[in-house]
Structure 1
């Protein structure tokens, strides 16, 4: 009887020990799996942080490069403006102006400087001014040129030979100047003529002085923005 009791007790003890061992083993495996999952999660989080850090650094570099390019563009525009002012300093400053606006250089010349009243042919003084402007533009080959003709709101007299209206007058004058610029050596693919008639006045007043200010030709010089477009990831249009 005592033997059977001892045997039974031993069996119970063995089973309990084995059960405890199984529980400990399962707990260990669970902890191990949990630790592995946590390690993987930490690795994924670190990778994401590294990617965000790299992306932020890349953006900062791109921003710095863009700022550098814009500073260079601003410097180039100011240099171009100064060159043009110097080349045209001998002309009546009341008949022309050189300004920077919207990232472009605007050379505004009055019709008095360039044309006789109602004419589309550039006078000798205007030719001299344009020749000196061409000399500057030849040294700045990357600059695009838009020639805009503007009139006042006084309609062209009916029956005026070869000129139908203010649209016609502004376009013909712009085309004449474009022709001169290209004949003097500017590449035709750099220069574009455009007529605005009286729809973009420099002065909206009704006085004679305001009308005179509106009768003008604007030569708009646009810098090459290819490098800026590259920084932005934009393909420059041809």
Structure 2
């Protein structure tokens, strides 16, 4: 009985001892499993740390690059700001200059417009005065035609008007005897008709031109008139003196000698020579050459 009890006690103790060993082994296995899990987690964490470290380095590198870029952009912005201020100054200066130029040009345009208006007025006045003078010349022309219609009809006098220039052409035979330069009485009567018309002309110069044919002076007459120059000059001067004696102002009179060198017809015929021997009384503007 005692042996059986002892056996049971020993069996119980053995079972208890075995049960304790089994519990320890189960705990150990759990610890091992936990350790393996932790090891794996640690390895994964190390890998993640490494990846994060690499990413961190890349991010720092990118951050540094971005900071450099930002610094460069800041400098560019500062430079642009400075340039913009300079540009604004330049543009303002140019704008001020252009504004002044525009104002000056406007003033010049206004001045030119005023000057043009004045010139237009002057031109209109001159045109009016010119037309008035043309009318005066035309009236003088018509009056001469009326007073000298007899001489004109006989072919002794021709009267022409062109562009304000009036010419009274007289053949020498009605004014002078052959080979002489003194105006004969009949010639004075003809010239008196001209004087009656010309005495009212105040704004014209009166030029007396002497002309001859090409027949050379010969004999004793050469002592007084060596050439046709002298004869044409003497005749023109004597006509001018007669006009002066009849009241025409000597300031408006001039005498010119052309001799044989300005013929109006051919000297090959007697008729042509007769036309070339003439006195021309010409009304011209006072400022004409």
* TM-score, reference length from structure 2: 0.63
Alignment match, 2:30: none
Given the alignment, which residue of 145, 170, 181 partners 2:206? 145
Alignment match, 1:84: 144
Q: Residue 46 in 1 paired to residue 106 in 2?
A: yes
DSSP 3-state at the match of 1:76: helix
Shift of 1:169: 1.1
Aligned CA RMSD, in angstroms, stands at: 2.9
Given the alignment, which residue of 62, 78, 98 partners 2:159? 98
Q: Is the Cα–Cα contact under 8 Å of residues 172 and 278 in structure 2 kept in the other structure?
A: yes
DSSP 3-state at the match of 1:97: strand
Alignment match, 1:201: 263
DSSP 3-state at the match of 1:90: helix
Distance in 1 between residues matched to 2:108 and 2:272, nearest whole Å = 63
Q: Is the Cα–Cα contact under 8 Å of residues 137 and 143 in structure 1 kept in the other structure?
A: no
Distance in 2 between residues matched to 1:141 and 1:41, nearest whole Å = 52
Shift of 1:181: 1.3
Deviations 1:122-149 (A, max 9, x none): 2332111101111112122333221111
Alignment match, 1:71: 131
Alignment match, 2:179: 118
Deviates more, 1:115-124 or 1:164-173: 115-124
Distance in 2 between residues matched to 1:38 and 1:191, nearest whole Å = 61
Deviates more, 1:34-43 or 1:164-173: 34-43
Quick one: structure 1 residues 172 and 44, their matched pair in 2 at CA, closer, same or farther if it must change by over 3 Å?
closer
Q: Is the Cα–Cα contact under 8 Å of residues 214 and 267 in structure 2 kept in the other structure?
A: no
Alignment match, 1:7: none
| Structure number with higher relative contact order (C-alpha < 8 Å, ≥ 6 residues apart) | 1
Distance in 2 between residues matched to 1:172 and 1:218, nearest whole Å = 14
Q: Residue 136 in 1 paired to residue 204 in 2?
A: no
More helix, by proportion? 2
Deviates more, 1:108-117 or 1:64-73: 64-73
Query: Tell me, which stretches of 5 or more residues in structure 1 are unaligned?
Result: 1-15, 226-235
Q: Residue 56 in 1 paired to residue 116 in 2?
A: yes
Shift of 1:162: 2.5
**Which aligned runs of 4 or more in structure 1 are off by greater than 3 angstroms?**
23-39
Task: Find the structure with the greater CA-based Rg.
Answer: 2
Q: How does 1:202-221 map to 2 (within 5 A)?
A: 202-204=264-266, 206-221=268-283
